[in-house]
Amino acid sequence: MIGGSEKILVIDDELRMCLSLKELLSGNGYQVISTQSGKDAIEKIKAEHFDLVLSDIKMPEISGLDILKAVKEVDPEIIVILMTGYASLETALEAIRNGAFEYLLKPVEFSQLAISVRRGLEKREAGLARKRLLEDLKVAYNNLNTRLLELNALFEAGKSLGSTIKLRELLNKILSLAAGVTQAENGSIMLINPTGEYLTVAAYIGLDKQLAEAVKLPIGSSIAGYVAKSGAPLIVSDVEKDERFKRINKEKYSSASLLCVPLRVTNRILGVINMANKKDGEIFSEHDLKLLTTFASQAAVAIDDARQFENNLQKLKEFSLLFEISQRLSSVGSVSAMRQVVFEYLKKLMPIDFALWFEWQPVSKSLKPVGATGTKLPLTDTGSINLDKVKTEEIILENVEFENLDIENIPTLSSYMATHIIKCPAYPEPGANFTALPVLQENELRHIYCLGSKSERQYTIQEISLARLIVSQASGFYEREKALLNATRLLTMGNMISEISHDLRKPLTNLKGWIHILREKWPQVGADTEFFHMAEEEIYRLNDLVRELVDFSRPHKYETEIRDIRKIIERAIEFLGPDLKRKGISYDCEFEDCNWEIPVNKNQIIEVFINLFMNAIDAMEEGGKLAIIGGLKRPDNRKSDYLAVTVSDTGQGIKKENIPKIFDRYYTTKDTGTGLGLAVVERIIAAHGGTLKVDSEIGKGTNFTIYLPK
C-alpha cells in the first residue's frame, strides 16, 4: 500500500537537502533514512531492505551513478531516482541505461518528486506482485505435475480418473466408477462450500434432479453432515434401526442400507460420497465400505488436483487479463473509454451487469458519480437502477459519514452504499448481489466502485480482490488523466493570463498618470467631488488584480525559513485592522501552548491568512466575530499530528453544493472576485506539505482549518 510502510533511503552531501527531503517524505507516511555519505549509503543498501533510493548524482568519493549500480547489484527491483543540478545528456543516458527510474533536475519541486516517488513505489509493488504470482504459479504447476505423476501409479480406476481435468466431468466419472465398485444404483457427491458451513450436491445418479440441486445440508446434520464433520467412513445396514439417523432419513431412501465416505486430502475434508440401493437388494458389506474408502481417497486427490488445475487456469486467465487491461488502459483516449474497458474485462472474470463509479469529495464529505456502465437491469420488483439518469444528471450522495465505518470492510461498505443509493431517485434498490469496492491512494479514499448482477451466485473473495485490483489500476489512470488535463488547462490559462496582464499594465499606468495630471489641472474638481479619489482607488484595485493574476500564473519557488506562525497571523490582522473596525467585526485569537516555529515561506503564508481573513470580512456585511484558534490536531487519514489553525467567522456561510467548488480556480460568487483567492490558499498550503478542511452552515458561519506539518 503506497504511503504506508515503504522504506526510502535519501542520499545527498548537502545536510539541508537531506533533512528537507526526509521531513517532506516522512510527512507522506514513508519510512525515511538519510545519509550524506555515498560509502555509508552503499553499506546501508547491502545491510538493510529499501524500496526506493533517492540520490544526488554529483557527490564526493562516490557518485549517484555508482550508487545506482550498487543498488541494482543488490536488488534490481529497488527503485532509484537520481537528482542533479548539473544535468547533461551523457549522465541522463547513463542513468537510464543503468536502470534509473527517474532523472530529476534540481531544484526539485516536491509535488513532482512526490509523484515520481509514488509512481516508482507503485511500479515496484506491481513488479513484486507479478513476481509473487509467477512464483505461486510455478509452485502450483510443480504440485500439479507431482499429483499427475502420482495418479499414473494408481490402478485402472485411478488412471481413468486422471484422464479428466474438468471438475464437473471428473465428479460424474468418479460417481460412475464408485457406483461400479460398490454395485450401487443411487449415489451422490456432496462438496463442502468455501466457508465450510454446509454441503451441496455436486454430482448425482438415480436421484430427483430438482431435489438434488436444492439440497443445502448443514455440517453435522444427517448422515452426510455427520461424516463430513467426523471424517469417519460410515456404513448403515438399516436406517430404520439406526438410532442416530432413522428419524431424519426415514423417508429419504428407498433402501435401508447405505454407505457414506469422506473425501479426504491430508487433513482436509472436501466432501462425501454417498452410495445407496445396492443391486439385487443386497446389504452393503464392510468390504464394500473398504473399497469405497480406498476409491474415495484416490478420488479426493483427483478432485483436489482438478480444483487446483482450474484455480491455476483461472489465475493464468486473471494474470493475462491484468496484463491486457494494463495495455488497454495505457492507450485509451478518455476517462469514459477507461470505464468501459474496466467493465468489459470484469465481465470476463465475474457475473456483472452494471457498474457505478463514485468520486469521494473530502471537502463536502459527499460522493459524486463520475460514470455508470451497463444496461437497465430490473433487480427488484419495485424498480431498477436508472443508468441513463446517472449518466445525464449530477447526483451527489450527501452526508456520507465514514468516520465510524471501516472502509476496507467490503460487506460493511457494500451494505452502507446500498442503503445510501436507495435514498436517491436515480438509484432504486440495487439488489442482493451488490458489491462496493473502495479505492485508496496514499491511504486516502479516492473512489468507490459499485458493481452488481442479477446472478444469484455471490461474488467470491478472489473475484472481489481481483476486481478491486483492476479498479485501483484504472483509478490511477483516471487520476493521472485528470491531473494532466488540469495541468494542460492551467498552463494554457497561465500563459494567456500572463500575456493579458502584461498588456494591462501599460494602460493602467497611463490612466494613473493622466488622473494625476487632471488633478493638478482641475484641483477644484478634485476638492468638490470624489471623482479623482474613486478613480485612483479603482486603478489601484485593478493593478492589484493584475498582480494577483501574474503571481498565480507564475508561482514563486518556495524558499522557507523558521518562522512563528502566530506572528505571521498577527501581521495579517494588522493589515486588515481598518476593515475589521469599519465593519464592526470583533477579533479573538487563542493558541495552544506548543512549538509554533516551523519552516515556511513568510510571504506566501501571510497571503494565505490575508485571503482567508478577507473572505471572512466579506461574509460579515453587518458585523460579527472573527476567531483564530490554533492547536495540535490530526487531519483525516493522516498518521501524525499537525499544527492546526482554524479561521472562524459568523458570516452568511457557504451553500453545501458550492463547497466542492470553492477551491476551483476562477470560481467565485462575488461580483468583483477573480476566483483565485482560495485556489492560491490551497496551492500554498499543499506546497508546504499541509492540507485544508472546510465546515460551513448557511446563516451561521464558516470554519477554514489549515493543517501544517510541525
As a whole number of angstroms, the distance between CA 190 and CA 296 comes to 12
| Structure confidence at residue 53 (pLDDT) | 92
pLDDT band at 244 (very low <50, low <70, confident <90, very high): low
The reply to whether 228 and 307 lie within a common domain is yes
The SS3 of residue 93 is: helix
φ, ψ dihedrals at 465, nearest 5°? -65, -45
| Structure confidence at residue 628 (pLDDT) | 92
Q: Is residue 136 part of a domain?
A: no
The reply to whether 454 and 505 lie within a common domain is no
Q: Is 468 in contact with 437 (CB distance < 8 Å)?
A: yes
As a whole number of angstroms, the distance between CA 360 and CA 381 comes to 31
pLDDT band at 500 (very low <50, low <70, confident <90, very high): low
* CATH code at position 76: 3.40.50.2300
As a whole number of angstroms, the distance between CA 127 and CA 133 comes to 10
The reply to whether 162 and 282 lie within a common domain is yes
Top mean pLDDT of 236-240, 537-541, 695-699 is at 695-699
The reply to whether 233 and 345 lie within a common domain is no
Q: Is residue 533 part of a domain?
A: yes
Other CB atoms within 10 Å distance of the CB of residue 522: 14
Q: Is 52 in contact with 124 (CB distance < 8 Å)?
A: yes
Q: Is 657 in contact with 398 (CB distance < 8 Å)?
A: no
| Structure confidence at residue 176 (pLDDT) | 81
Q: Is residue 282 part of a domain?
A: yes
Which domain range does residue 34 map to?
7-122
DSSP 179-237: HHHHTEEEEEEEEE-TTSSEEEEEEEESS-HHHHHH--EETTSHHHHHHHHH---EEES
The reply to whether 493 and 444 lie within a common domain is no
Q: Is 594 in contact with 557 (CB distance < 8 Å)?
A: no
DSSP 241-258: G-TTTHHHHTTT-SSS-E
For residue 362, is the peptide bond before it cis, meaning its omega torsion is within 30 degrees of 0?
A: no
Q: Is residue 168 part of a domain?
A: yes
The reply to whether 276 and 359 lie within a common domain is no
* CATH code at position 698: 3.30.565.10
Taking residues 182-202, report their average pLDDT: 84
The SS3 of residue 362 is: coil
The SS3 of residue 554 is: coil
Taking residues 48-54, report their average pLDDT: 90
The reply to whether 308 and 159 lie within a common domain is yes
Summarised one tens digit per residue, pLDDT across range 599-617 is: 988 878 888 888 888 888 8
Q: Is residue 464 part of a domain?
A: no
* CATH code at position 207: 3.30.450.40
pLDDT at residue 251 tops 50 = no
Count the domains in the chain: 5
Q: Taking Cα atoms as reference points, which of 237, 276, 228 lies closest to residue 254?
A: 276
The reply to whether 197 and 181 lie within a common domain is yes
Top mean pLDDT of 50-64, 147-161, 228-242, 447-461 is at 50-64
The reply to whether 685 and 668 lie within a common domain is yes
As a whole number of angstroms, the distance between CA 701 and CA 627 comes to 11
The reply to whether 382 and 412 lie within a common domain is yes
Q: Is residue 481 part of a domain?
A: no
Q: How far is CA 704 from the centre of its chain?
A: 27
Q: How, if at all, do strands 585-591 and 444-452 pair?
A: unpaired
**If you count DSSP H runs as helices and E runs as strands, how many of each does the chain have, helices first?**
20, 22
116-145 core/surface letters (b: 16 or more CB in 10 A; e: else):
bbbbbbbebbeeeeeeeeeeeeeebeeebe
Q: Which of 281, 313, 345 is the last residue of a domain?
A: 313
Summarised one tens digit per residue, pLDDT across range 375-421 is: 554 444 333 455 555 544 445 566 666 666 777 788 888 888 887 77
Summarised one tens digit per residue, pLDDT across range 113-125 is: 888 888 988 888 8
Q: Is 654 in contact with 660 (CB distance < 8 Å)?
A: no
The reply to whether 205 and 352 lie within a common domain is no
| Structure confidence at residue 674 (pLDDT) | 44
Q: Is residue 144 part of a domain?
A: no
The reply to whether 545 and 566 lie within a common domain is no
Q: Is residue 474 part of a domain?
A: no
Q: How far is CA 432 from the centre of its chain?
A: 24
